[in-house]
Amino acid sequence: MSRVEGLRANSSQFTLEGKPFRILGGSIHYFRVPRAYWKDRLLKLKACGLNTLTTYAPNFVKFKDHSYLSLAASLGLWVILRPGPYICAEWDLGGLPSWLLRDENMKLRTTYPGFKASVEIFFDQLIKKIVPYQYSKGGPIIAVQVENEYGSYAADNEQMYGFSAKLSLGITELLMTSDGDGLRKHGGVNGALKTFNFQRLNMDRVKYLDEVQPQKPKMVMEYWTGWFDLWGNLHHVFPAEDMTSVVEEILKQDMSINLYMFHGGTNFGFMNGALAVDLPVPLPMVTSYDYDAPLSEAGNYTPKYHLLRTVFSQYHSELLLLFSKEYQPVVVHQRLSLWDSLIFTDEPSSSTTPVNMENLPVNNNNGQSYGYTLYETTITSGGALNSNNNVKDRALVFVDKHFVGVLDDDSQEVTVPDGEEGRTLSLLVENFGRVNYGKTLDKQRKGLVGDIELNKKNLSDFTIYCLDMKPGFIDSLGGSDHWVQPADKPPSGPGFFQATLHVDGPPEDTFIKLPGWNKGVVFINGKNLGRYWSRGPQQTLYLPGPWLHTGENQVTVFEEQNTDGRIQFTTVPDLGKTVEVQ
């Protein structure tokens, strides 16, 4: 194909090289899929009859994954890049980096000088990286999105004009915006095509888009094929037949479409976001981002995939199959207590008053982004320990390493038993995940964000340990001489528990299940699979085969409280009891 005229929106239909073109897109986020499976997932997207891949670029990370764009191009897929910098996506802080919150006056997604300067640096770096992948340069990118769902936020409309102007300096392809409920009020910016997001078709919104953008192509940038899940709730499903009927109607209306998500993947590590809209306190997302999408979390076909393939495909491709295996259970053979692991953390901080995670002097003074923070101080009595709602998000409370209770949004007081003077009070605070959407983004500082009282007196003189559990820390634990064989049956936390999984032959996908365990994080050969929590709904963790190797594999579990002593495997994911998306 010649490269003279890229994607255009000058009439009621898109054109590419001057010929009518309909975008049939699907969202797959490279950062939620093991690199070894990128090709598999994109081939399945193409085999379903789609022609365009959409993806975000999160967290101000230098966009290193050019190979994802190159791979899409090699498979004959176009790309719509949605670089944000805010992406929502049920990702921690909506894709913005936590170090922005070190500024106590920070106003995210506005023209606040500190935010504006950081975004300009981000765009300067990003634009240089993606320019060669534009359609006009022979690459796959046919359009770039300006920000994300700003119409629902609209704190500072000048921001959108600034973003659009900045992108226009280097991007020659079509610019777009996308909005859900905020489309009518504030969505869009001059010079960018407005698109909209929804799950159930509302013809009033279609009519509105025609009115504000006459003789322009209409596109559903996010057609929500399912929904996300929250710890303590049910697993959301959207019936396949309902989804397909809406897709068919969208196509009958001559609209373009992008399936969000076509394949959801996994919130590996600590990257899940949290939901705050219409809730008294934020609720964190689960580790799985299965989303009830056409391809499951592990990349397998679902009824939705087959129905969509009938709708989209004008040809038949061979379906690619992945295999999974139910490995034999493994037994924990050694335990390392939380306190014995502290020698492998950064040098602890000392502070008269509590310091929130983001402002700790760690990680080259960029603060702590994810994981746990341990705050310790000396107490002289027992009594009522009150959090004053300054625990973000959940703290396990220990006295001389003995568990005494939990402080969180629902429980803000714990009784500390009487005892001798000079005892150590420890608060192990977990960041559940920052809100990814809404007007509370600026309030997402974690750890202890204010004073903690014992008998109505502020505690002071804290020693603070950063437990962000990066790969280097997990690897270093192997060098500790404090590992012991568990004496108690089953062993208890908080601490790290190790087992060995032996794999005969080529590794295959599997799912980890932990009945009898309470709450924590699983690492395989140093890679963070994400959080588990017995309260559900999610009851299994996806373990990609490429993260295993033939022979011995190290399984490390950080468990906060109770264990079963065994780690089990299954071929069948368990995302919990279901409820239909409303």
Q: Tokens 């011995």 sit at which residue?
A: 552
Alpha helices (H) along 226-335: 240-252, 303-312
Reference 331, options 154, 446, 500, 484; nearest CA is 500
> Of the listed 147, 222, 297, 376, which one is catalytic?
222
Which two tokens mark 283? 């609720």
* Cα 1 → chain centroid: 37
Question: Exposure of 527 by Cβ count < 10 A (0-12 exposed, 13-18 middle, 19+ buried)?
Answer: middle
Q: Exposed, middle or buried, 336 (CB in 10 Å: 0-12/13-18/19+)?
A: buried
Instruction: Give me 70's structure tokens.
Output: 């190159």
Our CA dihedral for 21, 25, 30, 34, rounded to 10 degrees, sits at -120
Residues 471 and 473: their CA atoms lie apart, in Å, by 5
Q: Which of 181, 296, 291 is nearest to 227 (CA)?
A: 291
Of 149, 376, 430, 560, the active-site residue reads: 149
Q: Where are the beta strands (DSSP E) in 130-187?
A: 141-145, 174-179
Q: Quickly list H helices, 145-273.
A: 157-168, 203-212, 240-252
Token couple for 214: 């006459």
Percent helix, strand and coil across the chain, each to the nearest 5: 25, 30, 45
Instruction: Please check whether residue 256 is in contact with residue 220, taking contact to mean a CB–CB distance below 8 angstroms.
Output: yes
| Residue 432, token pair as written in the block | 């559940």
Neighbours of 181 (CB within 10 A): 14
In 3D, which of 51, 123, 117 has the Cα closest to residue 85?
A: 123
Cis peptide before 490 (omega within 30 of 0): yes
- Any catalytic annotation for residue 149? yes
Distance linking the first and last C-alpha atoms of the chain: 44
d(CA 515, CA 568): 8
Tokens of 108: 């995210």
Least Cα distance to 571 among 525, 531, 512, 503 occurs for 512
- Residue 212 contacts residue 236 (beta carbons within 8 Å): no
Residue 218 in contact with residue 210, Cβ under 8 Å? yes
Phi, psi of 27 (to 5 degrees): -90, 125
SS3 (DSSP) at 565: coil
Report CA-CA distances (Å) from 51 to 48, 77, 320, 379.
Answer: 9, 5, 18, 63
Active site residues: 149, 222
